[in-house]
């Protein structure tokens, strides 16, 4: 049983747990409460919401709909958590995943007076925010769960978008993360074999949402991506106005276009729809497989269609890397699938998922991978869909407790969102055909002379570094050994019978010493009778001791002699 975090003992978090249970009960999610083992809060919630949730619309009869509405009511942390979970097909049904993707985080607008106070706090060295901005539109463009955005004009007449964090949102999210951590620990203690690690999931979620709360990080990511696509005619990112950036404030170039979520595709020609889908596809795949740094949340609200069907990405708070090593392992994975090479796939999976060698050596593990790889036998590269294959593959390995790495999870999420975006714009777009050059390039680059030469130089460099530090490491180890800071523990196996033999032999030797001592004492007492006149009793005692010692020694050794000869 996990120990309860001290912070949970505060009234605030106990109250929050009760609120969560109450909301779940009000939406008829009693099974969720029981699944988490929160019966102690169950009765409290029923006192406040004893009436069963009434279906207001026919769709509310579905569990997934009620879950989505409950998360929306619980606030920004749970909305974000649901949005991230909307890509976990290994945990939820397709109906639930589809409903989680509908989660919206539109919130109440922040009064403009509070916006001005945040500006003054964000730029303390400026006597007036008007030294930076010529004007700010009082009516917000959007009011999200984490931040609110306004149109603004910088000094010099540059149009911009001002993004201001909601006051107090960090403390709200930290408190909810504490509650989610408690619930995850409680769930792990309540269900010992879930097949996944709730605490690990919450930790990854906390890392993601705190990154979104870091506007400096978002500014740096946006700036990096904007520079990578400066010369691209089909993809762009907003420019960062660094003079108007602080911890809670982010100012970006205003994007002139239509959000993909508001795009009426029925008014577009087939050629435009195909070009938008193509630009969107190549924009994401270039980030992932060419630059190795990508926008990890390309949902329709974060994509704009600009004049000329150019695609603009906004809200770069959530980004991820795809390093060269992971790219090489993915290449090996896809190449093994296409070539029906189960050994290659197993080697790639072991390194990608940090699989325990004992699990990898199990026959059923290899058989499951071989059966999955067989599905792609003789399948052309263009028919391998990156997102779907990876998501399905790691879902099947979950029973072996093989965890999908976080960077691969981001990649799966990004490409899954891309697939849904492309289908929305142009259902006839050939996603697999467009992916073929990237997959082929990913695989071929492993065998380029430049790649092989780089790997050899890297290995030689590692070996040289090992040789150079080896003497000092040995000297340091010997020094620790001399100081007694290194202990050697020997564990024997199969020596149980020797332990028993040594114990019996020791007992026999002790008996021999005892018997001989008694016999020697008796002999001395018999001899002493001759010199001690009037002490005949010494001889009698000595004779008795001699007889007892003789019988004791005979009784101790006769059984051993008998069984040994037998």
Catalytic sites, residue numbers: 297
Indicate the angle between helix axes 342-352 and 324-338, nearest 10 degrees.
150
Residue 147's DSSP bridge partners are 165
CA 348, CA 442: separation in Å to the nearest integer? 14
CA 261, CA 435: separation in Å to the nearest integer? 24
- Three-state secondary structure of 272-305: HHHHHHHHHHHHHHHHHHHHCEEECCCCHHHEEE
CA 547, CA 518: separation in Å to the nearest integer? 9
Q: Could you tell me the two tokens for 196?
A: 């996944």
Across 113-157, the runs of DSSP E, i.e. the strands, are 133-136, 142-143, 147-154
Residue 135's DSSP bridge partners are 153
CA 193, CA 411: separation in Å to the nearest integer? 27
CA 54, CA 37: separation in Å to the nearest integer? 24
Shortest CA distance to 26 belongs to which of 8, 12, 47, 4? 47
**For residue 336, what is the DSSP state?**
H
Q: Could you tell me the two tokens for 438?
A: 């990237």
- Chain centroid, CA 188 distance in Å: 15
Phi and psi at 525, nearest 5°, equal: -70, -35
Q: Which residues contact 326 (CB under 8 A, 6 or more apart)?
A: 352, 405, 407, 408
Q: For the CA atoms of 170, 171, 175, 177, what is the dihedral angle to 10 degrees? A: 10
CA 211, CA 319: separation in Å to the nearest integer? 9
DSSP string, 215-243: HHHHHHHHHHHHHHTTT-SSEE-PPB-GG
Please say whether the beta carbons of 21 and 43 come within 8 A.
no
């Amino acid at each position: 049983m996990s120990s309860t975090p001290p912070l949970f003992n505060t009234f605030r978090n106990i109250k929050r747990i009760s609120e969560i249970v109450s909301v779940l009960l009000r939406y008829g999610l009693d099974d969720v409460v029981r699944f988490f083992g929160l019966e102690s809060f169950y009765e409290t919630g029923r006192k406040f919401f004893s009436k069963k949730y009434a279906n207001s619309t026919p769709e509310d009869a579905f569990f997934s709909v009620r879950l989505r509405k409950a998360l929306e009511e619980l606030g920004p942390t749970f909305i974000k958590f649901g949005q991230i979970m909307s890509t976990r097909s290994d945990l939820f049904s397709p109906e639930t995943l589809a409903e989680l993707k509908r989660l919206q985080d539109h919130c109440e607008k922040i009064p403009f007076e509070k916006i001005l106070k945040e500006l003054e706090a964000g730029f303390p060295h400026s006597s007036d925010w008007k030294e930076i901005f010529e004007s700010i539109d009082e009516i917000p463009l959007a009011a999200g769960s984490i931040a609110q955005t306004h149109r603004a004009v910088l000094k010099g007449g540059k149009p911009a978008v001002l993004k201001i964090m909601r006051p107090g949102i960090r403390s709200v999210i930290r408190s909810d993360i504490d509650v989610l951590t408690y619930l995850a620990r409680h769930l792990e203690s309540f269900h010992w074999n879930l097949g996944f690690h709730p605490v690990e999931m919450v930790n990854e979620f906390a890392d993601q949402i705190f990154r979104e709360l870091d506007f400096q990080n978002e500014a740096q990511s946006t700036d990096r991506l904007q520079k990578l696509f400066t010369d691209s005619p089909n993809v762009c990112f907003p420019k960062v106005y660094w003079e108007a950036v602080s911890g809670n404030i982010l100012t970006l170039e205003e994007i002139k276009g239509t959000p993909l979520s508001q795009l009426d595709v029925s008014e577009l020609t087939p050629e435009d729809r195909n070009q938008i889908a193509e630009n969107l596809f190549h924009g994401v795949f270039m980030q992932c497989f060419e630059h190795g740094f990508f926008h990890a949340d390309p949902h329709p609200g974060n994509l704009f269609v600009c004049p000329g069907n150019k695609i603009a990405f906004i809200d770069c708070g959530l980004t991820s890397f795809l390093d060269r090593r992971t790219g090489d392992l993915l290449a090996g994975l896809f190449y093994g699938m296409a070539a029906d090479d189960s050994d290659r796939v197993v080697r790639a999976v072991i390194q990608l998922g940090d699989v325990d060698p004992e699990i990898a050596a199990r026959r059923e593990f290899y058989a499951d991978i071989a059966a999955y790889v067989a599905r792609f036998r003789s399948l052309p590269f263009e028919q391998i869909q990156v997102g779907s294959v990876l998501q399905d593959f790691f879902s099947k390995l979950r029973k072996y407790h093989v965890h999908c790495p976080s960077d691969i999870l981001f990649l799966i999420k990004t490409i899954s969102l891309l697939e849904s975006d492309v289908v929305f714009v142009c259902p006839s777009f050939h996603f697999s055909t467009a992916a073929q050059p990237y997959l082929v390039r990913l695989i071929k680059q492993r065998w380029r002379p430049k790649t092989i030469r780089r790997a050899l130089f890297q290995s030689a460099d590692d070996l040289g570094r090992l040789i150079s530090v080896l003497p000092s490491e040995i000297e340091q180890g010997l020094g620790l050994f001399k100081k007694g800071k290194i202990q050697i523990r020997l564990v024997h196996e199969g020596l149980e019978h020797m332990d028993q033999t040594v114990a019996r032999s020791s007992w026999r030797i002790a008996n021999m010493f005892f018997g001989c001592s008694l016999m020697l004492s008796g002999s001395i007492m018999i001899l002493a009778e001759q010199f001690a006149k009037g002490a005949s009793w010494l001889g009698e005692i000595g004779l008795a001791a001699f007889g007892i010692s003789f019988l004791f020694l005979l009784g101790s050794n006769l059984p051993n002699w008998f069984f040994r000869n037998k």
